[in-house]
Every structure is written in C-alpha cells, then in structure tokens.
Amino acid sequence: MARRPVLASLCGTALGIVFAYLTQTSIGFSALLLIAVAGVIFMLTYFAGYKSVAGCLAVFSVIGFLLFSVNLCVYEAGYYDNAEVEVTGVLTDDENVLRDCKVDGKSIDGKIEIDAFYLPKGERNPDVGDVFTFRCKLGDYVLIKDGVDTVKFKKGIRYRVTEFLSDVYVVDGEANLGEKIRLYVKDLLGEYLSDDAFGVAYAMLLGDKSEMDSEISDMFSNVGIAHIFAVSGLHIGFVVMLVNMFVKRRRKLSFALTMSAVFCYASICGFPPSVMRAMIMTGLMLFLKMIGRQTDLLSSVAFAANLILLVRPFYLFDVSFQMSVGAVLGICLVTRPLNIFFNDKLKDKPKFVKNIVSSLCVSIGATLGTSPFLIEYFGGVSVIGVFFNVIMLPLVSLLFMFILLSVLIPPLALLLPLAGAVLEFVIDATSLFSEIPQLVLPKIGLVSAVVFIVCLFVAGGYLLIKNRERVMLSLMLFATLFCCCIFYDIKPMVNGLTYFDTGGSTFAVACDNDEYLFCDLKNFYDYEKAEEFDKDGTIELFVLNYENINENVALTLAQKYKLRLFVIGLIKTDDKYYSLIKNGVEIKRLTSFNSPDFFFSTLQYLGSPVAVNINFSNSTFTYVYPLTSFRLEFLRKNTTSDFYFVSNFSEETKSAFPSSLVFTSEYVVSGDIYSTQLTGNFTLSANGGKITFIK
C-alpha cells in the first residue's frame, strides 16, 4: 500500500462514506466503532513510517464523508411529498419510467416511476418516446431505507406516482438515440432467435436481464456464470479488440477511437458501475501504454474505483460495483501467484494445457474476489462454477463477438440462428449442471464473508511462502472448509413474507418452499398475483375481507382455475355469495389455520375481526383491519407482534407499537414507518432467527 498511494486513497474514501452512512442512519455504536478502527489504522500506519499512507487515509476519509453527506442532502431534498400535480414526461424503454419530466409545467431533475397498470387514453398501446400527460399524487423516493437503494439511483429515478387522479393522455413522440439503438437490437435479435436465446443474447450484449426468463437467470446464477450478463471488463475488452483490428499502429488515433467506441458502448448500456470501472481502467491503461509507462493492475482498479466513488459515493453500496471491483482484486491478489506457481510446474507441457490452467487461475481468483458478496447477497458460491467458467467463457466470448458484429453489420444477422442454436446448447448445459446436487455453498452469516476475505488475501502469497507457514495456512483453510461442510445445505431454507404493492392488501407467506397468498381479490392487481399462485390448476386464497371481494374478478379466475376462497372472518350469504357458489367457487370461513409451516389466527371483538396474526419462523406478522381509536387501544392490550401492517395510518399508530416495525399502504415519510407507497413491494426474509427487510 505504501507503493500504491491510490490504494490507500480508495480505502480512505470508502471509510469516510461508510462512516457518513452510519451517522446518517443514527447507528451510533457502529459509527463510534468505525472511528476507533480508522483511528487505530491511522496510528499504526503513521508510526510504522508510512506517513503518506496515513495522510491519504485521513484526507480521503474526510472527502468521502463530505461527498456522501452532500449528495444525500441533494437527493433527498423532498419537493412534492405526495402532492397533487400534473405530470408530463416521455416514456423510456425502461419499463414504466418517464424521462424529461415536467411537474405543473416546471422541469425537474430525475425520472418518475409510474404504476404498471396505468390506463392510457387512446386506441393504441404507447411506444417508447411517446409523451404522457396526467394528474396524480407524486411522492419523493427515499434513498436510504434499510440500506441504500442503488437500483433506483442508477436509473435516475427520483419520484414515484403514488395514485393516478386522471387518465393518461398519450401523444406521439420520438425515442432518443440510445433508446433507438436498444430497440433496434431487440428487434434484430427477436427476429432471428427463440425467446430463451433472445433473452440471453440481449442480456449478454447490453447487460439488461429484463427480457430474460427468471428461471434461466437463476440457473446461470446457481452455476456461477451470471457475470457474463454484467457488462464489464470482458465486454469492454472485446470492443477494444474490435477497434484495434482496424487502427493499431497509430497510438494516438487508436487511443482516441478506442475510448470513443468504449464510451458509446457504455452510454448505450446506461453507464452501470461495472462498465464505468472497466471504462476508466481501460482508458488509464491505454494512456499509460501510449506514453510508454508501465501499467499496474492493482493501482488501476483502485484508481477507477476511487474516481467512481468520488463522483457517485452511493455506488459503494451497489452489488454490481462491489462484485466488479472484487473480481479484479481477486485476479490481482490470487491469479498472479497461481500463474507464477503453475508456470514453473508446466514448463514442458503443451500450450493448450497452459492456457486451460491459466483460465482456471483467473476463474479461481475472480470467484474468491466475489465470494463475500455472493454469499451476502445471493446466499452461496457455486463450487462447480470455477470449472464451468473455464469451459463456457471461451464459448460465450465467441458468441458475444459474433452477436456484436451481427448488430454492427446487418448482413451477418442472417447467421444469427446458428448463434441461437449455440445459445440453446449453453442454456441446456447450464440447466444440466444446475441440477447437480451439492452445487452451492450456503450463506452462513457474516463470518463466512470475513473468512473468504481472509482467504482472498492469504491466497495472494500462499504459494510463495515457506513450507512451515504453508502447512499452518493449509490447516486454517482446511478448518474453514470443514466448518462450511458442517453448515452445508443444498438450498438454504428462507422463510418470510412478501407484501405486494397492489393498491389493496395483498401479501404472501413463504415457508419451506410453499407459498400462501392473502388478499381481498379486490382488483386486477390481485387477479395477476393470484394467477402466479396457480398450483396444478387450483388457486387457494386466504381472503382478508369478504366485503372487498370483486365478484367479476373472482368469476374470471374461476373460469380458468378451480378457485377456493378461505375467508378470514365473516361471510355474508348475499347475492354475491350465491353467485360465486353457483359458478363453482368454493368458499369456506376460517378463523385459524395450522400447517407444519406456519399458522394464523384472527383476533376478534364481539365476533368482528380486528386483526390477523401470522406466525412463521418464530416471528409474528399482524395484518390490522381499518383502525379506530378503540381498536388501536384493543390491539395495544391484546397483541405483541414483530411487524404490523396498518392500511389507515395515524400518528398514534407507531406510538402504540414502539418496539415493532410498522408498515402502511399510505404515503408516510418517516424513519420509523415503512410506506409501501415509497418502497413498493417488500419482503421480510426470515432465515433462522434473523429477519431481513428487502425491497
């Protein structure tokens, strides 16, 4: 680090950003602990004689802290707070997002996210580039809520429509250049490829997985090759190679054309953090090569990561940024010593053997570098992925090059069906490998992440140290592997509850891979969610409120499926009841339900339901019926729950449940209340005794 001050600068910036985040979220103890750790690091480096390192850490810690705080203040300024406004905006190719927006005639910074089920006024479906005009309630997005919502930040979304107050009027418009290019790519690939191959090819080319089937995406993740869809160094490298095929000898011209091509490609992809990292590293290394200076991979990745954080400090909490930087660090710290070790052992071996071993070393380094984040965010690391990458990466690389050339040179598109056949083979092979038992190492908590980080740095010098020390480290790594095997589970069981922002009261309880849907069957949103829970042509719903059942929605479902409704609370034997019975809908009243997975019970007063208590994974979620002051006091005295969902929120609600998490469907801006108008869908994930809030 002493010879690489830029690496110390990156560490300082990251420390400052984390400290700013902890203080903004009022986590006092964690902030004090971080100050203590940073202080110890500073003192050790300073008194050890590394004054430049200590200086970089101190200066950039302050810079990181200030940049995060200032950017947060600007982002969460809060202008509309669910105000009734008139919105005009242009529909983008990012589903249900408007750009170039005006609110009450005034231009605003940032994009607006609209509901999936708006009602356009006109005879045709809107196209990308069309201009929307409507009245609505407009809410400000909250950036920090149990973490930093970098997904919305990367897309530039600042506001969200919480309620439509009029129809949506659509006027013909025109897509911008980036949208036209992406639409052209979609049309071209869609014309020649099957649905599955099209989704994979589009994701591979532009890093956008929105067109890919979720099951296929999960397969690639389980096998450990999902990184081929994250546009990064691999993709940028091919763009550089393509340009250098035409201009190679004239260094300055080559540099200018290469970086222009890379910038254009990055802009089409939307400048995700992984692309920005690869673009900056490419520019830096090409520039140093042009002026005859030696390049250093570790310094380059540190420079790129630090520059990104100085411009976009929120990206420190983004999984794509973390994994992109982690992969390169793994290659720097692990792949190089592995190559040194094997080059000596394989001196007399054929070249193709050396190439295979070299690819395996890169795969091992990248996997170790990303392991902490894979475990933390996705629950495991694919063991077979290390070897599968060696087989698939050359094939995927050739496919990427061919698809890219087909897009740039239209006559080559006639050969895209051949690429489609190869993609189908890749999908089938991935599906086959994803079925292999004992494939994924599960998430076993923060300790596993720390262990992998230690292993990452240890492996950097493991092969180059003395035999006695190597034996000791081997014992440590063996003990780590043994602990992982003890806690091993092929598919970690994650139970929880997901609330769907449907405008009503719709949520699902997941236990032991079974899901139970609670809703009122009130509108088309509920209809769509119910269809997702089709099990062998039968849909079973736990209805929270008989009064809210929309007879037409229920009958439409009953025409396609065998529909069973378990009503929690009272049922009226009225015309709606007899109509549903007559059309084959089974209706049964329940006041409690027990299964091996979970159980629920209703809390009643004088025969009328007040709340539903749902118990899962040693946790309790309480859905509360519309509150009155009397019911609120009744609940305070008769319930103790970890989570409450209250549709009609009042200031007294949170004070009634001070030690619990409170959710509401109304627009509420508060650090203690979770408004689904702001967060949209959310999940309470229960893994063991730990409950995690996930957007």
Helix residue ranges, H only, 379-445: 385-408, 416-434
User: Do 367 and 226 share a structural domain?
Assistant: yes
Instruction: Find the mean pLDDT for residues 155-176.
Output: 86
Measured distance CA(248)–CA(661) in Å, rounded: 61
Least confident of 44-48, 83-87, 636-640, 645-649: 44-48
Report which of 429, 288, 255, 308 is spatially closest to residue 64, judged by C-alpha positions. Answer: 308
- Residue-wise DSSP of 37-102: HHHHHHHHHHHTT-HHHHHHHHHHHHHHHHHHHHHHHHHT----TTEEEEEEEEE-SSTTEEEEEE
What residue has token string 């790519």?
A: 185
User: Do 405 and 470 share a structural domain?
Assistant: yes
* Number of domains present in the structure of the chain: 4
Q: Percentages helix, strand, coil for the chain, rounded to the nearest 5?
A: 55, 20, 25
Mean pLDDT of the residues in the chain: 77
pLDDT of residue 338: 77
User: Do 214 and 95 share a structural domain?
Assistant: no
Contact 551, 576 (CB under 8 A): yes
| pLDDT band, residue 490 (cuts 50/70/90) | very low
Close Cβ partners of 381 (under 8 Å, ≥ 6 residues apart): 224, 367, 371, 374, 375, 440, 441, 452
Contact 116, 162 (CB under 8 A): no
109-140 pLDDT, tens per residue?
A: 889 988 655 666 665 678 889 999 999 888 88
| pLDDT band, residue 480 (cuts 50/70/90) | very low
Instruction: Give phi and psi for 502, each to the nearest 5.
Output: -105, 0
Q: Last residue of some domain: 427, 454, 486?
A: 486
Contact 398, 180 (CB under 8 A): no
Is the predicted pLDDT of residue 163 greater than 60, yes or no?
yes
Is the predicted pLDDT of residue 274 greater than 50, yes or no?
yes
Identify the helix (H) or strand (E) that includes residue 36.
helix 28-47
How many CB atoms are closer than 10 A to CB 354? Answer: 15
pLDDT of residue 484: 44
Least confident of 67-71, 95-99, 367-371, 684-688: 684-688
Instruction: Find the mean pLDDT for residues 662-669.
Output: 74
Task: Say if residue 52 is exposed, middle or buried (CB neighbours under 10 Å; 0-12, 13-18, 19+).
Answer: middle
Measured distance CA(183)–CA(385) in Å, rounded: 33
User: Do 353 and 430 share a structural domain?
Assistant: yes
Instruction: Find the mean pLDDT for residues 494-507.
Output: 70
For 583-616, b where at least 16 C-beta lie within 10 A, e where not — what string? eebebeeeeebeeebbebbbbeeeeebbbbbbbb
pLDDT of residue 615: 79
| pLDDT band, residue 88 (cuts 50/70/90) | very high
Query: How far is CA 117 from each of CA 121, 163, 501, 526, rounded to the nearest angstrom?
Result: 13, 11, 12, 12
| pLDDT band, residue 103 (cuts 50/70/90) | very high
User: Do 429 and 299 share a structural domain?
Assistant: yes
Least confident of 19-23, 162-166, 195-199, 381-385: 381-385
Report which of 487, 479, 520, 486 is spatially closest to residue 502, judged by C-alpha positions. Answer: 520
Of 86-100, 198-212, 292-306, 599-613, highest mean pLDDT? 86-100
Q: Last residue of some domain: 75, 100, 135?
A: 75
Q: Last residue of some domain: 486, 507, 542?
A: 486
The domain in which residue 229 lies consists of 183-486
pLDDT, greater one: 385 or 270: 270
User: Do 340 and 434 share a structural domain?
Assistant: yes
Identify the helix (H) or strand (E) that includes residue 514.
strand 514-519
Helix residue ranges, H only, 207-318: 214-223, 233-244, 251-269, 273-290, 297-311
User: Do 195 and 290 share a structural domain?
Assistant: yes
Measured distance CA(677)–CA(227) in Å, rounded: 33
| pLDDT band, residue 89 (cuts 50/70/90) | very high
Is the predicted pLDDT of residue 448 greater than 50, yes or no?
no
Least confident of 98-107, 210-219, 378-387, 520-529: 378-387
Is the predicted pLDDT of residue 492 greater than 50, yes or no?
no
Instruction: Find the mean pLDDT for residues 238-252.
Output: 76
Contact 483, 503 (CB under 8 A): no
User: Do 419 and 521 share a structural domain?
Assistant: no
Q: What is the CA radius of gyration of the chain?
A: 28
User: Do 585 and 481 share a structural domain?
Assistant: no
User: Do 519 and 454 share a structural domain?
Assistant: no
User: Do 541 and 405 share a structural domain?
Assistant: no
Is the predicted pLDDT of residue 605 greater than 70, yes or no?
yes
107-117 pLDDT, tens per residue?
A: 988 899 886 55
* Three-class SS state of 682: strand
Work out whether strand 131-140 and strand 106-107 pair parallel, antiparallel, or are unpaired.
unpaired
pLDDT of residue 308: 93
Rounded to the nearest 10 degrees, how much is the dihedral formed by the CA atoms of 245, 246, 251, 257?
A: -110
Report which of 102, 122, 119, 5 is spatially closest to residue 60, judged by C-alpha positions. Answer: 5
User: Do 600 and 661 share a structural domain?
Assistant: yes
Instruction: Find the mean pLDDT for residues 32-47.
Output: 61
| pLDDT band, residue 98 (cuts 50/70/90) | very high
